[in-house]
Structure 1
Amino acid sequence: MTRRCAACHAITPSHDVNCCQNCGLQFHKPQFPSSSPNDKIGSFDRTPSKHKPKEHDKSSLAKHSNPSLSNNDNDAKSSIPCKYKSLCGEYLKSLSWNDALFDRRFNRCYCSNCYPNSLSNTLEEAGSLYVIPRGWCRFGLQVDKVRADVDHIWRNWIVTYHGTSSEAAHSIVAHRQFLIPGDKRIDGEKIAILPGHIKEKYHIYTSPTIAYSSVACYCPSSQFRSKITNKVYNARIVIQCRQKPGTFEVQQETIGAGHKRICPFIPNSQVEIFTTVRASIVPYGILIHLAEVS
């Protein structure tokens, strides 16, 4: 199993090694409760005080158990509704996904107002660095508690991103599984390798940086007109996941970026993760990005 050093980003040996052999950084094991999802955001009433997440990473808990989407569902620290989050919520509602898919307690907006520049650009989970999705808004998904507890996904699995279309994202979230080209969806349609992708590569692709997962060949945009602003936006969707270490390989970018740096925090040589183990990836958040067109 490999992991990346949080300081120099070099691929380092397994967790049996206590420091990076490239830069000497001492590693530490994360101490997060097994019931807590990503970004050190946990259910407040079950998180021991010594494991309390940092204030800027907390997500608000709903005042009731209804997981339905709300345009005014904002982080607890903010008394002013976030306009960007409201727009993203409006777009998600327009897709008509079943409310039962969502867990609004873990909604989190990463716009410049909700997640200012003074906060960290990267975090480390399970010994692996990932990049904060600045400019995106997350809507929490329901995650099977038995699966989370048995596999300790909040403690032992890394954070990755998977860019896709809204249709494919709905299939993944609704049916609780990622598919590999050649697999058949529940409606009988066979999954094909999309145009622009490398032929004869039958894998699921993720990345530790949303800058890579959100490129057009992975994450096509669709236009959306808001009733709130009466403006048109290009909307993109990326799935935020937990992924089991030891079930994947890391490689350089395959989109022809050349010497152009894709992400300022993860080198091009380490931005692509691929696996054939379908069950090794668990989606827990839908990230939405809106860019105004008119």
Structure 2
Amino acid sequence: MDDDLAFCLGRFTDHQVQLIDDRIAKIKEEENEVCREIEERQAAHIKNRPPQRDKGSHAKDKALVDKFVSDLRQCSAEPRKIRAVTDDQTCIDSLRAELWTKVAASTTYINRLHNLARPLSNTAKFVETCRETVESFKRPSDFDANYKVLYKIIEQDEKDQVIGSIQKWWKEKYGDKVAEINQRNQKFNGAVTEPNFAILSPNSGVIRNAKKLIEARQETIVEPEYFEVVREFVRQLLLLDEEKREHTDANELSNELNSRTIEETIDYAERWLSERDEIRNRKEEDPYKIELEEAKAKYGRQRMARRAQKFAVAAFIRQLAAGSKNDEQFQEQLDNIVKQERKINEETETKEEGKNNEERKPEEERKTNAESLPVIPCDIGDPNEEELPVTFELKADAAFMNQFKNNSNEVQERFIKSLCQAFSIPSGEIRIKNIDCDKAIICILISKPHGTVVVKILIGGVEDAVARKEAVCKCFSDINANVDSIILGEVALEVEGRRMDPRWNKNYVSSSNDPTGQYWANSINQGGKPYFCPSGWKRYGIKVDTGGKEFDAKWGTWNMAYHGTRSEVATNILMSGLKVGTHGCHYDDGVRRVYVSPSIEYCAHQIYACPWEKTTKNGENLWYQLVFQCRVNPKSIASIKPETILGPDYKKEVIDPNFKNSELEWIILDRADQEFIADDIICYGMMMRTSKDHPKTLTPSKWWEHTDPACYSTST
């Protein structure tokens, strides 16, 4: 390769990488701005939304249902009971009065002991016990509770056991306390101790009235307490379930459940528990979270595509130099770009490791690493028609590589299966081509036509590209390895496959008298448009066919045009496809198009083709410019428009004497949303201009001083 061309291509690569890195940074800024706006709306939504309902706990709900089911089944097992009923109200009232009299007498007795002991020494605790006992006996709530227990004994105990049960009841509720006070009183006033208050004698008024009630007691059949169980369940259910409480009438639900069979009622309770669990487990939809994830995926995919473009240009330039003395130069440049990307990866990992473990989100860390993982597109060929080689360079030691190569525990089968799933291609469509243990490299082959999908995934060409690439990385982490970089297609080119075509290298001079190059005075009809000699430029051919006849058959009738090398799309132009842009002067934003020009001098303006300065070994300063030469399908030219960079006061300034200013921009619109329009434009030559002075001082460039920077079209 010519050293001057190598210099230009090296600078071109550096410039393209910088443009792409700047664009990646801008994409990140756009993402941050969009995400910040979404998060602000999300925060406002969270702040203004009504408080969440209490969904309760599964344990409490299940405990209620379990008790309800148990109680219902118990009712079913005991359908009818015998219960004693007493309805002699006079006896009932007398019993209550006699009990109160007995309790009051006991209280008076204890008060007496209290008063006698208080003046004596060492009686403080005894006096306090007496006081507390009196208060307890006189407390109405305690008396009512004790009376209910007494009445229940009379009503439910066997007749021959009632008296004994009543005496036992008195002992537990009152007698034991009186007996304790009597025992302690022996130390102070033993002579006044009366044991009768600690027991209920058979002749007491309480026992006499109890006997009357026992004699008047009647037995009746009582139905099971089914409805009471249902009603209590409904009451507890509505206490727990706030949402159901707002829309449910307790009496109506109780009556409805009471009318059902036991199994139907149990089924209702279990379904209620399941519904409550479903509500608890249901994640509240956050539209802003989804919007945020979609935004991050969108911008992540854009950055992936830009990174792939960065590696693609370096890899393609390296292929242009394949087999030449500059081969190592461009291989080193490619390696440096990859190293820089790996450094970014390592810095990202370091930042993540510095986070608190509770705050770190592992899925975000994996996503970041996957997004910035170097993917180097090389000689991909046509994945629809042939197998696609994919090479994984790993961070793995020799022990792992040997285990993988020896297929320990069928690791290869597991790896291939998971890789097929990650790429969403049928099982068995991937096979291992080669394993290099020394270099930690695994090379696989993707069966046609699935390689097309794989390429799109790895270079950000599908909506879920980041997630898919993350899944690919996980395939390696699952076998305890990490990917360092991925190479798409073949790296090395055979001689016959080299990208440069020196047969079509030409030097264009300014006069037919100059024997060092080629010149023609009049225009050549190229597809119905004039093609003028690009004097002062040197052409380097790019191989796009196998021979001249094939070229003429495909593109012989197409128009000649040029495109600058300073734009972001220059990489795609060089690789025979123009990435369409969405900004320009002649169409509204959003209409996808590309710009070319029939004038090489127009495309050579410094806003389209950056001038590069080089100091030679002899100390001489030289300036270089690079412009791409293309053939354009005449049918694809949507319109021909005037130049867009002259200042408003210099519109009559002649840019190129071979063309009118009104015909310098050819606009090619995109078709059917395709990203690349290589079917309509083919780049087959690199045009280089060399000068000892800055190109703006050259005669063909005098018009530069009249350009208007405010009207530069950066999407050319």
Task: Tell me the TM-score normalised to structure 2 length.
Answer: 0.25
Matches of 1:143 and 1:155, distance apart in 2: 13
Aligned positions of 1:31-110 closer than 5 A: 69=1, 71=2, 88-89=4-5, 91-92=7-8, 94=10, 97-98=318-319, 99=321, 100-110=498-508
d(CA) in 1 for partners of 2:567 and 2:615?
A: 16
Q: Tell me, in whole angstroms, the C-alpha distance in 2 between the residues paired with 1:168 and 1:150.
A: 24
The structure in which a higher percent of residues are helix is 2
SS in 2 for 1:283: strand
* CA pair 121-94 structure 1, distance change in 2 beyond 3 A: farther
Match of 1:213 in 2: 603
* SS of equivalent to 1:152: helix
Match of 2:165 in 1: none
The answer (yes or no) to whether the contact 1:153–1:242 under 8 Å persists in 2 is no
Cα deviation for residue 252 of structure 1 reads 1.2
Q: Which residue of 1 aligns with 2:636?
A: 247
Does residue 160 in structure 1 map to residue 561 in structure 2? yes
Offset from partner CA, 1:107-166 (integer Å, 9 cap, x none): 00113443477x3252221121022211111000010459x9499333221111111239
Instruction: Return closer, same or farther for 1:139/1:166 CA change in 2, 3 Å cut-off.
Output: farther
Letter in 2 for 1:103: D
Match of 1:284 in 2: 684
Unaligned runs of 5+ in 2: 12-316, 322-497, 671-676, 695-716
* Structure 2 Cα separation of the partners of residues 145 and 156 of structure 1: 18
Tell me which moved more, 261-270 or 104-113: 104-113
Q: 1:169 to 1:121 in 2, by over 3 A?
A: farther
2: distance between equivalents of 1:214 and 1:133?
Answer: 11
Paired position in structure 1 for 2:578: 178
Q: Distance in 1 between matches of 2:586 and 2:615?
A: 30
Amino acid at match of 2:663: Q
Compute the displacement of 1:276 (Å): 2.2
Distance apart, 1:198 and its partner CA: 9.1
User: Partner residue of 1:81?
Assistant: none
Q: Secondary structure at the match of 1:259?
A: coil
1:274 maps onto 2:683 in alignment:
no
TM superposition shift of 1:199: 8.1
Aligned residue in 2 for 1:258: 651
Matched, 1:222 2:620: no
Partners in 2 of 1:239 and 1:92 — Cα distance?
12
Residue identity opposite 2:509 in structure 1:
C
**Is 1:204 matched with 2:204?**
no
Instruction: Tell me what 2:213 maps to.
Output: none
What runs of 5+ residues in structure 1 fail to find an aligned partner? 1-68, 72-86, 183-192
SS in 1 for 2:555: helix
Q: Is contact 2:504–2:541 with CA below 8 Å preserved after alignment?
A: yes
Counterpart contact for 2:8–2:625, Cα < 8 Å: no
Q: Distance in 1 between matches of 2:614 and 2:506?
A: 21
Letter in 1 for 2:561: T
Q: Deviations over 1:13-45 (max 9, x none)?
A: xxxxxxxxxxxxxxxxxxxxxxxxxxxxxxxxx
Query: How far off its partner does 1:172 sit?
Result: 2.9
- Report the count of equivalent residues: 195
Relative contact order: is structure 1 or structure 2 higher (C-alpha 8 Å, sep ≥ 6)?
A: 1
Q: What is the distance in 1 between the residues matched to 2:606 and 2:588?
A: 17
Are positions 1:235 and 2:624 aligned together? yes
2:619 maps to amino acid:
N
In structure 1, C-alpha distance between the alignment counterparts of 2:560 and 2:566, rounded to whole Å: 20
**Secondary structure at 2:689 match in 1:** strand
Please say if residues 90 and 226 of structure 1, whose CA atoms lie closer than 8 Å, have aligned partners that are also in contact: no
TM value normalised by structure 1: 0.57
Query: Match of 2:535, as an amino acid?
Result: R
CA distance in 1, matches of 2:616, 2:588: 38
Secondary structure, aligned partner of 2:634 = coil
Structure 1 residues 261 and 289 mapped into 2: Cα distance closer, same or farther (>3 Å)? Answer: same
Structure with more strand by fraction: 1
Matched residues in 1 for 2:568 and 2:621: separation?
20
Q: Which amino acid aligns with 2:600?
A: I
Runs of 4+ in 1 over 4 A off after TM superposition: 92-96, 148-151, 196-199
2: CA distance, partners of 1:234 / 1:224: 6
